[in-house]
């Protein structure tokens, strides 16, 4: 009888161990499904699907790189917008100077009127310098890479440039770098003949008109006006250059958004849960757990008499 009791006890322990293991497995599966329903993700840890988890993490890292590119694009666009605003203000100033020259270039213009206009333009020269020294987020727009140094200074009637001719390259997409700035010399110096050699600066053109007005010389005024017009056209060309760079950034942003959409779609296919499928699995697993508990309960209540019955 003792041997039968020992055998029964061992058999009962085995049934109990197997039942507890099944119950634990059912509960773990139930918890996993509940987590998927709560997070909306099928893959939350490597054990859920090692292959999918590894690939999804790689896609997440790539998504983070895309985030950085988007931030770079946003900062680049803001810099270019500020640059265009400063250039547009310079164009307006040179348009006004040209209009003043037109009024004063006639033989009927008096010497006093020309002198007064020269004084007005002398005062507005400071506005020209202010735009050449325009800043964005505390950095000078037209200083090359010396963005913390004021690029243009007026001393003794002469304007000097203290920046450099370097461009600021920013990576806006994988393997794609774009210069987002215009060095000050590219804005300031005018290559009227198109031979690659600066012929004069925009501030020299402005000062030429002032000098011509004070000289009360009609022919000299007309010559100075031609330079002012060339300076204005030069600034318009720089605005077009900025516009082209802005267009490239917009194209890169569009491509980046398309790439991100493809990436997120792929990552969603790997990670996201199918709620309808999970709901069915939850119900099925719940029923299976309840059935296992019921069977286990009956097994553990088996008596020695039931075990010995034929």
pLDDT confidence of residue 174: 80
**Which CATH number applies to 60-266?**
1.20.1330.10
pLDDT confidence of residue 281: 60
Work out the number of other CB atoms within 10 angstroms of the CB of residue 125: 18
Separation CA 9–CA 65 (nearest Å):
62
pLDDT confidence of residue 107: 84
- Pick left, alpha or beta for residue 106 (phi over 0 → left; psi -120 to 50 → alpha; otherwise beta): beta
- Pick left, alpha or beta for residue 173 (phi over 0 → left; psi -120 to 50 → alpha; otherwise beta): beta
3-state secondary structure 182-194: CCHHHHHEECCCC
Q: How many CA atoms does the CB half-sphere of 233 hold within 13 Å?
A: 11
Separation CA 279–CA 108 (nearest Å):
92
Name, in order, each residue with C-beta under 8 angstroms of 79's C-beta and a sequence gap of 6 or more: 136, 141, 180, 181
- The domain segmentation of the chain, as residue ranges, is 60-266, 274-310
Tens digit of pLDDT at every position of the chain (310 positions)? 455 455 545 555 655 666 666 666 666 655 665 666 566 565 665 666 676 667 767 767 877 888 888 899 999 999 999 999 999 999 999 999 999 999 999 888 999 999 999 999 999 999 999 999 999 999 999 999 999 999 999 988 799 999 999 999 988 888 888 999 999 999 999 998 888 899 999 999 999 999 999 999 999 999 999 999 999 999 999 999 999 999 999 988 888 888 888 877 777 666 655 556 666 566 666 666 566 666 666 655 554 444 444 4
């Amino acid at each position: 009888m003792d041997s039968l009791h020992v055998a029964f006890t061992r058999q009962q322990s085995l049934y109990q161990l197997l039942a507890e293991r099944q119950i634990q497995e059912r509960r773990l599966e139930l918890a996993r499904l509940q987590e998927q329903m709560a997070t909306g993700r099928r893959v939350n840890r490597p054990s859920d699907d090692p292959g999918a988890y590894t690939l999804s993490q790689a896609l997440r890292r790539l998504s983070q790189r895309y985030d950085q590119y988007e931030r770079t694009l946003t900062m680049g666009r803001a810099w270019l917008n500020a640059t265009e605003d400063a250039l547009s203000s310079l164009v307006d100033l040179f348009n006004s100077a040209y209009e003043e020259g037109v009024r004063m270039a006639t033989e009927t213009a008096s010497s006093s009127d020309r002198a007064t206009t020269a004084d007005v333009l002398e005062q507005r020269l400071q506005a020209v310098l202010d735009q050449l020294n325009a800043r964005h987020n505390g950095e000078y727009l037209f200083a090359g890479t010396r963005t913390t140094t004021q690029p243009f200074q007026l001393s003794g009637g002469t304007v000097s440039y203290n920046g450099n001719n370097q461009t600021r390259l920013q990576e806006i997409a994988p393997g794609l770098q774009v210069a987002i700035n215009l060095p000050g010399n590219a804005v300031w110096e005018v290559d009227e003949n198109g031979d690659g050699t600066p012929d004069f600066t925009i501030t020299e053109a402005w000062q030429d008109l002032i000098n011509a007005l004070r000289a009360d010389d009609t022919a000299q005024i007309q010559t100075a006006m031609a330079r002012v017009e060339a300076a204005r056209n030069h600034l318009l060309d720089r605005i077009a250059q900025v516009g082209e760079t802005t267009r490239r950034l917009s194209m890169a942003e569009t491509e980046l958004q398309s790439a991100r959409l493809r990436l997120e779609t792929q990552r969603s296919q790997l990670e996201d849960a199918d709620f309808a499928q999970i709901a069915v699995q939850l119900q099925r697993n719940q029923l299976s757990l309840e059935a296992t508990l019921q069977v286990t309960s009956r097994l553990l209540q088996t008596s020695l008499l039931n075990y010995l019955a034929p």
